[in-house]
Structure 1
């Protein structure tokens, strides 16, 4: 493979290089100076300077996989190591040799350029599920934390994702300068930190959370809670944030750095009820014009899984254009990775569904898989509790998200993760099981907004799977029929 080396002097002109006689230290042919890489420089002349840095050439051309393998070695921070998201940004331990995987995965050039070149100011990334948004957030967070005095705040909606993000930050040793919180947890901490009484008890949890946010809004307005607390604020899964939440958060950024990063995918909005209010970014204080990037490629899912999920949720994923100050719906595109066809299995009842899951997980573990590779995503807590009890009865290691502090879901020994679909937002697993599909939206009209939200939630659950997706049911419903049609449509498309 041909290789060469050179130096780019971004602050020295060629005349200054010659005048200082720097050619005695490094050959002039191995240098590109400031005035030799401006937009006015002839393209062919610039290319010749690059080729002059190669002392020898060979009649071969590198393939894309070979180029990615080289980038994997040169830039460890760009490596993608699924499904262990926690290690995306971890520094290699010096006493352990680096194992080189057969399949090299690194950020693509668009992701790398975005992560490296993102300056201060407000930035918005619209990205489909699995496009590497969280990976870019982690890279950006670590870079800012290393060079700023004030702390960095990372926010998301659900506790499970907050726990996973916290692991990513801890892996890079900047946890003392970065606070990772789910939004309502951060609100509670703000009230406590500034001696403000929490809201009175409310009839239900939703009303209490609304009262909590109202308290924080009022306290920020009256300056009981100070603004500009953080060098940077980063919001993952920003599509789950209400407009008034974003208004609070934007005020927490120090005007001197003015660094805010918002990650967004309107197709994954699953927490709102009764329809979502449309809003512009400018209306909530986010200066997005000229600083918006769209990521369309899905790297997480195989072509088979993504094609099935897209076919199932077609009407949800129809691309909707929007200007930079508004929220588009982006149609995902596959990076082309191939894998197993998703399965839709009909059982006689929920107990048999549990038995099938336990059997498949047991066989995979016996063949060398880790229990951490598996997640069972359920529509509600009652079903999650039932599935967890059946898997434990089968003597499988299980962690039920509802039984522990969700921030610690990924601590401890390898275990099958059982959680609700809502709690799975932002996460990924090698193999995903979705039981009880026939119980989703049973009493809803097929064309209702509520059924549309259920379909969106199921789409989110399906796209958590990296390599294997198994869906189970024990009776026919509108949704199971749609999933069966989606699998058939995927087979037909890939066979063409």
Structure 2
């Protein structure tokens, strides 16, 4: 079964498009990717198919009947529309051809997608083709209406060739027909690799980009070829979720590092382009995460163009008329700045709004990150301000990262039924295998029975099924004092910076409390980094420092664990761990979630250090001894 993006067809699709979609999904293998109406730099072909042994194929779909067609030539057709009026349109085959060649020209910029020798020099290293699908015409109709004079039969699919209910339908013949729709054709020396398909997606769909940099530009004939390294993209499942346009309310629940925030940001940018008149709101709980999401959304928005030349700053989330289309807020900032109320005033504000005595904004789409931390009345307020005609509410969450106890029912709180409208992400893309293993073993060992993973349908906490990244084991060590601890951390930072070329801005120091029991934790951290000449930014110094946080600034970030939710860094140093669980915190579940969150911020390097003793440090010491024996 092929991967389809989006996963299901929107209601606006025609009956013929839906039939073709289902047929391709069922009868192409899982190596194939089928896009329906993808937005490729403003071009909207009906279908784009990418297959390892096929190449890239563009299909235009027409539900024309015999009575639709009036006068035909290779470039323009006169047809009779639904109102019985005669109109002139571009030939569907010409339309498909134009899309295919535009896409090919775009992909030819990547040196790794182009042949640089042989008879196909300067051409793509894989074939690309195009065709037209007549969902209501048969082969006999093509001959009867003299379509064969203006349409090459090799480049067409008719009803009996796409409808499994027809006796003449054949899965083998369908695949053969698709493979022959190539006027620029050659045999692939070897199938397209997953990296090749990733490169194609990287260029055609900027919203799926996570990372990638131009390392070299080389003039080659009429093209400037780009060498791109360190490509990272959303996987196909993530992309499908982000592109489920017009699908109303959705719930995405995923493990740490599964790309929930990335999907949310990409979906916001896609919705904005798809509906330029919409007002879109993104909400989260903490201040630093809101700044991170804002930065990510702006990157997605500015990548609506090619985005590879680093020219200009993009459109910065504004519509063509200068109106801000996407608003990113942490919840209490939204109350203060946009609703002009406090949290205590929510019930009264809702009552006055429903009575017509207060004006509150209306949003066409609301996207909520870290939804597990939202109180029921917060969700209720947001859902009331959602346009009832769109019902475009997206909530992403991970119950394992809950640090604020909330009792809630999504159906009761929002008035929307999420049954059958939720998706679960189990693959951790952020962390390495050793980090995931340690973090999850810790969580399972300390979570209360009601918060441990279950196998029921209404699963609360999701078990990470796998991770795609390898790396060094986490460093676990007890020191004589916090001063010794931080001296080690500072030295390791310098090693990573000099020998591994890890940027200062890709390092994070996490602490539980800045001062307790006579120990000035923040003072020791700052002194150690200053002594080694390491630049740093104290994210959680005050509200002003949180609001000013810029994720790409060049300095080590220092933060409480709470404020690191949703963020990730190449190297994470969790210090003063004996403060977990914090003695003055009655809710141990919160402390378990905090350490789990802390560990899963690390993309590659994780260091856990302490100079005292607690329940958690004793477990970590035992884990370290077990690892050494193995």
TM beyond 0.5: yes
CA 1:36–1:164 in 2, change beyond 3 Å: closer, same or farther? farther
Pick from 58, 77, 93 the counterpart of residue 207 of structure 2. Answer: 77
Residue 202 of structure 1: aligned partner = none
Per-residue deviation, 1:237: 0.6
Q: Alignment partner of 2:252: what SS?
A: strand
Within 1, Cα distance between the matches of 2:345 and 2:524? 32
Per-residue deviation, 1:116: 2.0
Per-residue deviation, 1:98: 5.7
Per-residue deviation, 1:353: 1.5
Within 2, Cα distance between the matches of 1:489 and 1:38? 59
How do 1:78-477 and structure 2 match up within 5 A? 78-81=208-211, 100-102=228-230, 104-146=231-273, 147-171=275-299, 172=301, 173=315, 174-175=317-318, 176-192=324-340, 209=343, 211-226=344-359, 229-272=362-405, 276-315=406-445, 316=447, 318-321=452-455, 323=457, 328-367=460-499, 368-382=501-515, 383-384=521-522, 386-403=524-541, 404-410=544-550, 413-441=553-581, 443=583, 450-477=587-614
Query: How big is each residue's C-alpha offset from its partner over 1:386-434, in whole Å with a ceiling of 9 and x where there is no partner?
Result: 4234323432111101234313211674010001100000000000000
Pick from 26, 30, 44 the counterpart of residue 155 of structure 2. Answer: 30
The RMSD of aligned alpha carbons is 3.1
Within 1, Cα distance between the matches of 2:590 and 2:533? 35
Q: Which has the higher strand share?
A: 2
CA 1:282–1:51 in 2, change beyond 3 Å: closer, same or farther? farther
Q: Alignment partner of 1:248: what SS?
A: helix
Q: Alignment partner of 1:313: what SS?
A: helix
Q: Alignment partner of 2:540: what SS?
A: helix
CA 1:327–1:156 in 2, change beyond 3 Å: closer, same or farther? farther
Q: Alignment partner of 2:234: what SS?
A: coil
CA 1:233–1:60 in 2, change beyond 3 Å: closer, same or farther? same
Q: Alignment partner of 1:332: what SS?
A: coil
Within 1, Cα distance between the matches of 2:371 and 2:178? 42
Per-residue deviation, 1:126: 0.9
CA 1:223–1:437 in 2, change beyond 3 Å: closer, same or farther? farther
Q: Which has the higher helix share?
A: 1
Within 2, Cα distance between the matches of 1:485 and 1:108? 36
Aligned pair count?
457
Per-residue deviation, 1:148: 3.6
Within 1, Cα distance between the matches of 2:194 and 2:626? 30
CA contact (8 A) 2:505 2:552 kept: no
Q: Is it true that 1:7 corresponds to 2:58 in the alignment?
A: yes
**Could you list the runs of 5+ residues in structure 1 that have no partner in the other structure?**
85-95, 193-197, 200-208
Q: Alignment partner of 1:10: what SS?
A: strand
CA 1:491–1:186 in 2, change beyond 3 Å: closer, same or farther? farther
CA contact (8 A) 1:377 1:432 kept: yes
Per-residue deviation, 1:50: 2.4
Residue 51 of structure 1: aligned partner = 179
Q: Alignment partner of 1:100: what SS?
A: strand
CA radius of gyration, larger in: 2
CA contact (8 A) 2:436 2:600 kept: yes
Per-residue deviation, 1:350: 1.0
CA contact (8 A) 2:434 2:473 kept: yes
Q: Alignment partner of 2:436: what SS?
A: helix
TM-score using structure 2 length: 0.66
CA contact (8 A) 2:474 2:605 kept: yes
CA contact (8 A) 2:439 2:596 kept: yes
CA contact (8 A) 2:510 2:560 kept: yes
Within 2, Cα distance between the matches of 1:24 and 1:134? 52
Within 2, Cα distance between the matches of 1:22 and 1:384? 77
CA 1:455–1:366 in 2, change beyond 3 Å: closer, same or farther? same
Per-residue deviation, 1:64: 3.5
Q: Alignment partner of 2:211: what SS?
A: coil
Q: Alignment partner of 2:593: what SS?
A: helix
Query: Taking CA–CA contacts closer than 8 Å with sequence separation of 6 or more, which of the two structures ends up with the larger relative contact order?
Result: 1
Query: How big is each residue's C-alpha offset from its partner over 1:45-103, in whole Å with a ceiling of 9 and x where there is no partner?
Result: 33233222354334634443444344334433222229x9xxxxxxxxxxx9865224x
CA contact (8 A) 1:311 1:486 kept: no
CA contact (8 A) 2:339 2:360 kept: no
TM-score using structure 1 length: 0.83
Per-residue deviation, 1:186: 0.7
CA 1:471–1:219 in 2, change beyond 3 Å: closer, same or farther? farther
CA 1:253–1:352 in 2, change beyond 3 Å: closer, same or farther? same
Residue 82 of structure 2: aligned partner = none
Per-residue deviation, 1:213: 3.9
**Could you list the runs of 5+ residues in structure 2 that have no partner in the other structure?**
1-51, 64-133, 214-223, 302-314, 319-323, 516-520
